[in-house]
Structure 1
Amino acid sequence: MSESTAVRVDPSNERMLKAWDGDDGSFWAKRAQRFDDGVAAYRDLFFAAADVQVADRVLDVGCGAGQTTRDAARLAAEGSALGVDLSGEMLGVARQLAEKERVLNVSFEQADAQVHPFAEASFDVVISRHGSMFFGTPLAAFVNLVRATRPGGRLVLLTWQPLRLNEWITTFRTIFAAGREVPSGDLALSDPREIEELLSSAGYVDVECTAVNKPMFFGEDVDDAAEFIVEQHGGRLSDLDDTARDSAIQALRADLAEHQADQGVFYGSAAWLVEARRP
């Protein structure tokens, strides 16, 4: 039996399981360090909000390759951190890195946090860095997570603000549209009013959404960034002829050059730092 069929998921998350335990997960397992470097500017404010204490039990939802889980485990030196994700391949990377870094109070499990039977009130802090936007049924997911949190325990999320405020997404969407219609629609959990209503309905109190804006790293230089971005998004050019495809890639390289700084290639990004508490 494959790992994918062994994972219990809510039917609304079956598409996410196929993606994250498939090609998407393979890509990010290979590029785990680039993702961590990309959003590194958010790390300090994210963990300041999480306020992990030395004996806390931490749950990291959508942990990917586990950097935030290992960081939480280091802060909870006398406690523990559990990272859950749908990607078996990314969790494999997470376990290897935890062993390499000798982080002993951390564990990882392939699970759908929307339906996983976490023990009641078993965590002091629940965190998710850009992982909570993928739930098929968000209300059911957060009801499950609030149940798993002890009374007074904390929830801290990092989610993206609307696309129009994220230069990196709008720029790459436009370039890879290559003159065709630019994909529309917004990301889940990008509207603070909807976030507040969702978490309040799930049973959280003291819900706060704070706008945070940080530069997002894409590569050491134009060549490095272009290789990464084309690998991630190049499939959108597959139906174009060679001339149109080359033109789009040259447009990308020109835009990357305009965003080159001494420390690398950076684009503007905008996120919500979401904080809430179980009463």
Structure 2
Amino acid sequence: MISTLRVDPANTEQARAWDGQEGAYWAEHADRYDRAIRAHRPHLLAAAGMSATDQVLDIGCGTGQTTRDAALRASGGRALGVDLSAAMLRVARQRAAAEGLHNAEFVQADAQVHPFPAAAFDVAVSRTGTMFFADPVAAFRNIAGALRPGGRLVQLVWQAPADNEWFLSFTRALAAGRSLPTPSPGAPGPFGLADPDRVRAILKTAGFTDIELEPHSEAMWFGEDADDAERFILGMLGWMLDGLDDAGRRRAIDDLSATLTAHETAGGVHYASATWTIRATRP
């Protein structure tokens, strides 16, 4: 529960969501989330360049796919995954144990304030887990302190909403013609690190050097067919229907069904997506 977790007060709402209903939904659908972003996985792992003896920190590890990848590559080292969600960490521990990965560990923690051992890690990685910090400079400064001199930070984050067809399609459908408020640029959320100039400024202020961003575009998978994808998307974004009357709800669901059907292929429902792989070094 949140009461046992040290959280920066500014991250309280994020902790409430991820250590609550949102995290529970991700834990329940771990395989689906991992499959959705699978095409981006090689980019993150290639950029991280983990060696057999590396000590690896996985930030916002969720159900642990990247932590397990790190444990396999750093077979003579270790991989530590941290996340706010107790439910997702339970899944992560179960899967690491089932795979016999005794060098994979998991801790419930807010990486913005967690007291990591100083200079203990060779590389810190994150698969779409670093965009939610309320104070990203403080968070990345804390992470920098956990890296040895010369240690690497490698992140996979979303590019801007305009470059992510999946986000625009789902939110436009579920808006049902409403003009919904949009988060301020740089606000904590999926697109909090979408702006390259902002990313460079944050990481430089936090003490990192050699900051590089590499763009990637891949297809994301959301279900075996339109009906399967619709159930998943409504479970994830159904809150967007709040406030709609019956006619509005029908319109939103019909619009969602239409876009999912239009993106249905023999291999499932796919949408275009775009990420940045961000590399930086602790001097």
If the TM-score is normalised by the length of the shorter chain, which range does it land in? over 0.9
Give the deviation of 1:242 after TM superposition: 2.3
What is the identity, as a one-letter code, of the residue corresponding to 2:88? M
Q: Distance in 1 between matches of 2:17 and 2:142?
A: 23
Q: Distance in 2 between matches of 1:11 and 1:240?
A: 32
Give the deviation of 1:250 after TM superposition: 1.5
Q: Distance in 2 between matches of 1:57 and 1:253?
A: 45
Number of equivalences: 277
Aligned residues: CA RMSD: 1.0
Matched, 1:69 2:73: no
Give the deviation of 1:184 after TM superposition: 2.0
State how 1:58-207 maps to structure 2 within 5 Å.
58-185=56-183, 186=185, 187-207=191-211
Contact 1:173/1:183 (<8 A) preserved: no
Residue 253 of structure 1 corresponds to: 257
Contact 2:92/2:106 (<8 A) preserved: yes
Q: Specify the SS of the correspondent of 2:51.
A: coil
Instruction: Using the TM superposition, name which of 235-244 and 33-42 deviates more.
Output: 235-244
Contact 1:173/1:182 (<8 A) preserved: no
Give the deviation of 1:243 after TM superposition: 2.6
Residue 244 of structure 1 corresponds to: 248
Q: Distance in 2 between matches of 1:204 and 1:235?
A: 38
Q: Specify the SS of the correspondent of 2:179.
A: coil
Q: Distance in 2 between matches of 1:237 and 1:140?
A: 35
Structure 2: unaligned runs, 5 residues or longer: 186-190
Contact 1:174/1:182 (<8 A) preserved: no
What is the identity, as a one-letter code, of the residue corresponding to 2:138? A
Give the deviation of 1:257 after TM superposition: 1.1
Q: Distance in 2 between matches of 1:136 and 1:63?
A: 18
Q: Specify the SS of the correspondent of 1:132.
A: coil
Query: Where in structure 1 do 4 or more consecutive aligned residues deviate above 4 Å?
Result: none
Q: Specify the SS of the correspondent of 1:120.
A: coil
Residue 232 of structure 1 corresponds to: 236
Q: Distance in 1 between matches of 2:247 and 2:175?
A: 14
Structure 1: unaligned runs, 5 residues or longer: none
Give the deviation of 1:247 after TM superposition: 2.1
Q: Distance in 2 between matches of 1:248 and 1:180?
A: 10
Matched, 1:218 2:216: no
Q: Distance in 2 between matches of 1:177 and 1:154?
A: 40
Contact 2:165/2:271 (<8 A) preserved: yes
Give the deviation of 1:236 after TM superposition: 1.4
Taking only the aligned residue pairs, the percentage that are identical comes to 49
State how 1:17-32 maps to structure 2 within 5 Å.
17-32=15-30
Q: CA-to-partner distance for each residue in 1:109-164, whole Å, 9 max, x for gaps? A: 00011111111100001001111001111000000111100111110001111111
Q: Specify the SS of the correspondent of 2:115.
A: coil
Contact 1:59/1:83 (<8 A) preserved: yes
Q: CA-to-partner distance for each residue in 1:67-108, whole Å, 9 max, x for gaps? A: 100011000000000000000111001011111111111000
